[in-house]
Structure 1
Amino acid sequence: MIVTGGGSGIGRAAALLFAREGGQVVVADRSAEQARATAGMITAAGGRALAVAVDVAESVRCADMVERCLEAFGRLDIAFNNAGVGSTGFDLPEEDEEAWDRIAAVNLKGVFLCMKYEIPAMRRGGGGVIVNTASVAGLVGEKGIATYAATKHGVVGMTRTAALDHIGENIRINAVCPGGTLTPMVARSMQRPGVAELRMARHPIGRFAQPEEIARAALFLASDDASFIVGHALPVDGGLTAQ
């Protein structure tokens, strides 16, 4: 299987969890050092893992990632397309065009490129499961994150459409939509005074998620327990979208 953004946060938690469940994991991350660290944790626990440095915004790197998975493990059954970057926190008129391009390239184009190469590999193997990381920002609006929300709404739409396109090939595609989660990326986005308190207040449960809680949702969507779930965007958000 492949986990993108596997060097930290939700991706690392998912890579470790899938490995504990018997998965052979390609840990893909833009940071080769962080990918190797996660892969090392897996191998130290007796699992099998391969670290791959990947910028998911680059087509050739995504193609190489899938090819290296096939070379190492013989097939691709599961992909968790989780790599992403956060919002700059600017209102739309103040958003920098280069920031828009980078956020869109990683969060939206990156998921497209991963699926572009994962789906043919799964097709050759007789099927598979893809879980994409979207966000509650792909389901509802939130002030100050127009660029990020646009990409995550795009991931939800692309997930639903791709799911319909490929379920006939035994390729099941869904998305997980985390609420606020205690990851390094989220921590960086909350440096401004009052932002953490404001975001936490949106969650009726009264706290942020741990990365492992999102990883368990991804594991469920990838498992046979979710065999009749197709094209779904699953909120894991402490009640945020229930309001």
Structure 2
Amino acid sequence: MNKVLLKTENLSKSFSNGGELQHVLKNINLELYEGDFTVIMGASGAGKSTLLYALSGMDTPSLGAVTFGDKVISDMSQDGLAVFRREHCGFVFQQIYLIDGMSVTDNVLTAGLLVSKDKKAVVRRARELFAAVGISEQTQKKFPSQLSGGEAQRVGIVRALINSPEILFADEPTGALNSQTGLDVLGVLTEFNSRGQSVVMVTHDIRSARRGNRIVYLKDGVILGECDLGKYEHGDAARHEKLSAFLRDMGW
């Protein structure tokens, strides 16, 4: 089994909703492993995104702990969490949040230079990543408003990976894309995972979920079950059947 990168112990998250306490996550115990492509699934309101935000330090739990290596990130200050996210995590969202007034290149380099002062190394890393996701030099000069949805999401992936994060978190990364463009983005994530990049992705889409080797299913804030699919291989019909059967058992 691969090295444990991140783990939770009795992780719980509650919100006040009109004066009534709503328990979104309930005593979650989960280990995430180096090199895995972990997919978090569940019905709407199951707590998928809340779990992703707690795992990544974007939100703090109400109870329990989140540990990265020897760091208990759930005990960190907001400033400490900001540094942690910048140095160890990459984020890809359904909404891409590129800065409109900056070129594609500057969007990526700005993120890289927040961590490294070696501009030549950051530029070199950016060029390698742009080439890996198929973003041409001409496109790198464009502004976000000039990009297609697929191009913008691929740029978002480059920005997320510029600082070589230990974990890439993706929240419905294909949710706003058409079918073919979504497949292209999934292909990029799968390729980086095949190179050793650890990925944690929230999705409601079975096509996207098939790319993961581990499926974690949430229901009403608890982990109802898990499914081990093994590493992704294109055209693996048995993989689809195994995941479909698992999801039926979960009440999907």
TM-score in terms of structure 1 length: 0.32
Pick the structure with more strand per residue.
Answer: 2
**Which structure would you say has the larger Rg?**
2
Greater percentage in helix: 1
Q: Which has the higher contact order (CA 8 A, sep 6+)?
A: 2
With normalisation by structure 2, the TM-score equals 0.31
